[in-house]
A and B are shown apart, each in its own frame.
Chain A
Amino acid sequence: MMYYSNLHIQFKKGCVLTFLFSSILLAGCASTDVAKTEASAAEVAAEQQNPADPYEHINRKIYGFNDKLDKYVAKPVSDAYLWVTPQFVQTGIANFFNNLNDISVILNNTLQGKFEKGAEDTGRFLLNSTVGLAGLFDVAKEVGLEKHQEDFAQTLAVWGVPEGPYLVLPVLGPATTRSVPGVVVDTATNPVSYVGYPVQVLSLLNSRANAEGSLKFIDEAALDPYVFTREAYLQHRKYLIKDGEIEVSHDVADLEDAFYEDEEESFGVVETTDRMDADNAKPAEQENLAKTEGYTLKLSADKNGFSQASESFEDALKSFQEASQSYQEASKKLDQIKH
């Protein structure tokens, strides 16, 4: 049940961006199960589909390809890298690329109207690039400036672009149609894209090495690595878009429905009083609606897009107010320090 706790310990232990990279880069998980799951792909496509994954049939094939690529190429190389490189060098390299990634984080925070976070990340970048010796040391974290995870796909989401169907890209791994332009912009805003290929290779090695923990975890825990990766990826992306402030109860309603579902016919294992309450049924219905949002968005993108855009404008305004408030508080504190 609680596989996830460890997954996330490993996520965190690997690197801040571990999951993202694990998904983006060769999201295989060296498992022999893949052949079996592949075999069932046709049936899966024929059977009832997950509305978020209409191309499951082809996605599974690409997933299988990525998996093999990872198993026979990326993993051996990455293992060798991990074996020859001392831990502190690995950390330094990871920090270095994280620091370069902060440029894109700053840009996307700004584009999303998160000025306060943008300011923090600017601080991070300046501090780490100077005191942190070109990013080799994450000194900003020591002062309390945690890294944020932002990318252009998240910006698009905040702007109201619908998520679109789930895709598995060759070599690159899990994505949605929304994240495809995201990848392009992120690549363009990452300085690594403009330097020689030795640095790029190192960057890839670093990404794969940092994803090792998560990939190993998926391999150990997943009964169907394809489905596991898809669900975890889609959920984690949603979480990132909301900056971790997702209201859990929102997502939980659907599961609560499932909780009662099997009781409708069985001998009341649990309390039955509030089950069919009109008041209670209503929010559940709304939650269900919300759940299919990704799907309906496709049909009525304009309306939803508009409301999301206006919401994001409100968010931007709020964040601007927060920023100015904290400026005031900061100057007050500074005055106190002076006296």
Chain B
Amino acid sequence: MLNIQNSFRLFVVLLSFAFGYNVQATENISTETETRPESARQVVEQFQKTLLDVMQHGSELGFEGRYKKLAPAVKKSHALTKIARIVVGREWKKLTEEQQKELVDTFTRLSISAYAYNFKEYSGEKFEFVSEEETARGGKIIHNLLVIPDDNDVKFDYMLKKINGDWKIINIIADGVSDLAVRRSEYTSLLKNQGFDVLIAKMNEKIENYAKQ
């Protein structure tokens, strides 16, 4: 009997090694001073703070309240104009100036609405910083974990670029799925095949649906 217990313990000890790496996730605390231009990591963490705050007060705020609270935070931390340009790819240059403006505006509203709709509840989720990585062309990737109680962690990677001296989020990769890449396929395909008006109409339809709930 003792033997069985021992070997079971060995087994558990052995297997727990594989998860050892999870422990160090929160240890690297930033030593950077809080100077005016925020570091890439600070931009991400500031935004996550707002997000968690909105989630915690989700129901009392309602959709509109969440939208209002999130709008400045999303605009500040995300390079929305840039993202809107990337998701339509080469089609951007074929658009008139007015269309470009309309696209950026609609895309901004859609992004904020999606946040406001999807982050309405809080059940103890938290973000943990894991590491920071520099890309080949001077961008930064902030690796995070979204820890959900009673569930598996989600790997969250924020990709940032410096725009006019400020770090801005241009992509989020969740468990290997890159939001920007998915969006780009969707938007370019729609724009090419069904035209600008249909794209904008679909985006507005999504915004309306989000606001309804």
B181: chain A residues at CB < 8 Å are 231, 235, 251, 254-255
Asked if A260 and B137 make an inter-chain contact with CB atoms under 8 angstroms apart, the answer reads yes
- Is residue A16 contacting chain B, with contact meaning CB distance below 8 A? yes
Assess A40 versus B194: contact at CB under 8 Å? Given A223-B206, A253-B136, A258-B89.
Answer: yes
Asked if B192 and A221 make an inter-chain contact with CB atoms under 8 angstroms apart, the answer reads no
Q: Bound state CA distance, A176 and B10, in angstroms? A: 41
Taking the nearest CB of chain B, how far is it from the CB of A36, in angstroms? 8
Assess A334 versus B13: contact at CB under 8 Å? Given A223-B203, A251-B178, A259-B82.
Answer: yes
Q: Bound state CA distance, A260 and B89, in angstroms? A: 11
Segment from B25-33, B57-65, B183-191 that makes contact with A: B183-191
Q: Which residues of A in the span 127-186 have a Cβ within 8 Å of any Cβ on B?
A: 143-147
Asked if B15 and A119 make an inter-chain contact with CB atoms under 8 angstroms apart, the answer reads yes
B46: chain A residues at CB < 8 Å are none
Q: Bound state CA distance, A8 and B157, in angstroms? A: 13
- Is residue B35 contacting chain A, with contact meaning CB distance below 8 A? no
- Is residue A85 contacting chain B, with contact meaning CB distance below 8 A? no
Q: Which residues of A in the span 243-272 have a Cβ within 8 Å of any Cβ on B?
A: 244, 246, 248-249, 251-256, 258-262, 265, 269-271
Q: Is the interface of B mostly helix, strand, loop or mixed?
A: helix
Q: Bound state CA distance, A310 and B206, in angstroms? A: 47
Asked if A239 and B186 make an inter-chain contact with CB atoms under 8 angstroms apart, the answer reads no
Other-chain contact of A235, B133, B154, B178, B183 (Cβ < 8 Å): B178
Assess A228 versus B186: contact at CB under 8 Å? Given A223-B202, A256-B136, A270-B164.
Answer: yes
Asked if A248 and B159 make an inter-chain contact with CB atoms under 8 angstroms apart, the answer reads yes
What 1/0 mask marks residues of chain A from 41 to 80 whose CB sits below 8 Å from any chain B CB?
0011001101000000000000000000000000000000
Other-chain contact of B146, A3, A5, A262, A271 (Cβ < 8 Å): A5
Asked if A253 and B176 make an inter-chain contact with CB atoms under 8 angstroms apart, the answer reads no
Asked if A9 and B125 make an inter-chain contact with CB atoms under 8 angstroms apart, the answer reads yes
- Is residue B1 contacting chain A, with contact meaning CB distance below 8 A? no
A9: chain B residues at CB < 8 Å are 125, 146, 148, 154
Q: In this complex, what residue of B is CB-closest to A146?
A: B152
Segment from A93-101, A298-306, A323-331 that makes contact with B: A323-331
Asked if A144 and B179 make an inter-chain contact with CB atoms under 8 angstroms apart, the answer reads no
Other-chain contact of A330, B14, B90, B115, B156 (Cβ < 8 Å): B14
- Is residue B162 contacting chain A, with contact meaning CB distance below 8 A? yes
Q: In this complex, what residue of B is CB-closest to A40?
A: B193
Other-chain contact of A4, B162, B163, B177 (Cβ < 8 Å): B177
A246: chain B residues at CB < 8 Å are 176
Asked if A2 and B114 make an inter-chain contact with CB atoms under 8 angstroms apart, the answer reads yes
Taking the nearest CB of chain A, how far is it from the CB of B123, in angstroms? 9
- Total A residues in contact with B, Cβ cutoff 8 Å: 80
Q: Which residues of A in the span 114-135 have a Cβ within 8 Å of any Cβ on B?
A: 116-117, 119-120, 123
Assess A4 versus B135: contact at CB under 8 Å? Given A33-B202, A222-B186, A235-B181.
Answer: no
Asked if B179 and A4 make an inter-chain contact with CB atoms under 8 angstroms apart, the answer reads yes
Q: Bound state CA distance, A260 and B162, in angstroms? A: 12
- Is residue B151 contacting chain A, with contact meaning CB distance below 8 A? yes
What 1/0 mask marks residues of chain B from 1 to 30 whose CB sits below 8 Å from any chain A CB?
000001001111111111100000000000
Q: Which residues of B in the span 80-129 have a Cβ within 8 Å of any Cβ on A?
A: 80, 82-83, 85-86, 89-90, 92-93, 111, 114-115, 117-119, 125
Q: Which residues of B in the span 131-179 have a Cβ within 8 Å of any Cβ on A?
A: 133, 135-139, 141, 143, 146, 148, 151-152, 154-157, 159, 161-164, 169-179
Q: Bound state CA distance, A47 and B192, in angstroms? A: 8
Assess A144 versus B135: contact at CB under 8 Å? Given A2-B172, A220-B206, A269-B163.
Answer: no
A239: chain B residues at CB < 8 Å are 175-177
- Is residue A35 contacting chain B, with contact meaning CB distance below 8 A? no
Other-chain contact of B17, A220, A258, A326, A337 (Cβ < 8 Å): A326
What are 16 A-B contacts defined by CB distance under 8 Å?
A2-B111, A4-B182, A119-B14, A223-B206, A228-B185, A235-B182, A239-B175, A242-B176, A244-B155, A249-B135, A251-B181, A255-B86, A261-B90, A284-B136, A329-B17, A337-B9
Q: Which residues of chain A have a CB within 8 Å of any CB of chain B? A: 1-9, 11-13, 16, 33, 36, 40, 43-44, 47-48, 50, 116-117, 119-120, 123, 143-147, 220-224, 227-228, 230-232, 235-236, 238-240, 242, 244, 246, 248-249, 251-256, 258-262, 265, 269-271, 274-275, 280, 283-284, 287, 326-327, 329-331, 333-334, 337
Top 4 A-B residue pairs of the complex, sorted by shortest distance between their CB atoms: A239-B176, A6-B118, A330-B14, A4-B174
Given contacts A48-B192, A251-B181, A329-B17, 15 further A-B contacts (CB under 8 A): A2-B118, A5-B118, A12-B148, A116-B18, A119-B14, A220-B117, A239-B176, A244-B155, A251-B173, A258-B184, A260-B137, A262-B86, A274-B138, A280-B136, A284-B136
